[in-house]
């Protein structure tokens, strides 16, 4: 099976690509010189090249992201704010658009979400907004392609020992320290989603959710609004 994994030159992307290769997936290597997620033409050229040289991917993992501006929104650079959304959100959207019409039944798309996707993330507003939008994009596309047998989910990896975490720490922000097996757990969730059927339009936390689910649990999840972005109403 062929997998496209973005951001595989460092951090979680590098670990993820290695994990998938170890499991027998074909994961062609590429770096930013071959794919710039902030540039529409670069994404179009890369997708054409990939399809011509490697074929239709079975798995697409939109992992690449940047932290963006850190600090109060009122003091943030809107240029950097825009760039963060271009890479974290629109880069993933455009790459999904480029491959989606070619993917066969059984294809999987996994979007790596993160802090701010399910709750506010003060002083990292661009990153939070990009990840929340990516989750809603995940849910929406999943509904559109479910009749074609393509499943689309998002993963919350939790804090990981990566360059991005170092950036946050260096900026003086408080951040939760990851445990030693956090990165392996997040990669294992992605591998499970890539190889299981029956779950789509959901956002799963690598460290908090009780995956893997059996078939009965998947049916229960799909019949509910579990693991989705939603407003919770209560009686007044």
Active-site residue, selected from the candidate residues 15, 49, 127, 227: 127
Nearest to 206 by CA among 182, 226, 179: 182
Residue 186 zone, left/alpha/beta (φ > 0; ψ -120 to 50; rest):
alpha
Q: Are 2 and 58 spatial neighbours (Cβ–Cβ below 8 Å)?
A: yes
Alpha-carbon distances of 96 from 10, 71, 75, rounded to whole Å:
21, 30, 33
Calpha distance 161→177 (Å, rounded): 8
Q: Which helix (H) or strand (E) holds 233?
A: none
What DSSP state is assigned to residue 170? H
What DSSP state is assigned to residue 16? H
Calpha distance 109→55 (Å, rounded): 16
Phi and psi at residue 110, to the nearest 5°:
-125, 120
Is the peptide bond between 212 and the residue preceding it cis, with omega within 30 degrees of 0?
A: yes
Q: Is 15 among the catalytic positions?
A: no
Active site members? 127
């Amino acid at each position: 099976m062929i997998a496209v994994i973005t951001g595989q030159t460092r951090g979680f992307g590098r670990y993820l690509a290695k994990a998938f290769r170890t499991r027998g997936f074909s994961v062609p290597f590429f770096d930013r010189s071959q794919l710039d997620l902030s540039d529409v033409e670069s994404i179009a050229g890369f997708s054409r090249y990939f399809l011509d040289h490697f074929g239709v991917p079975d798995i697409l993992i939109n992992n690449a992201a940047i932290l963006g501006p850190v600090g109060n929104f009122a003091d943030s650079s809107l240029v950097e704010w825009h760039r963060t959304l271009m890479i974290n959100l629109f880069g993933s959207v455009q790459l999904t658009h480029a491959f989606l019409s070619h993917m066969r039944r059984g294809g999987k798309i996994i979007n790596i979400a993160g802090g701010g996707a399910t709750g506010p993330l003060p002083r990292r507003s661009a990153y939070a907004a990009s990840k929340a939008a990516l989750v809603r994009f995940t849910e929406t596309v999943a509904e559109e392609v479910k009749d074609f047998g393509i499943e689309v989910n998002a993963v919350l990896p939790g804090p990981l020992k990566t360059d991005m975490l170092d950036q946050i720490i260096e900026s003086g922000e408080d951040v939760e320290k990851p445990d030693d097996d956090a990165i392996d757990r997040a990669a294992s969730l992605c591998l499970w989603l890539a190889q299981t059927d029956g779950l789509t339009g959901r956002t799963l936390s690598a460290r908090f959710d009780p995956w893997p689910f059996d078939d009965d649990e998947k049916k229960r999840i799909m019949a509910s609004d579990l693991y989705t972005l939603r407003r919770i109403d209560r009686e007044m």
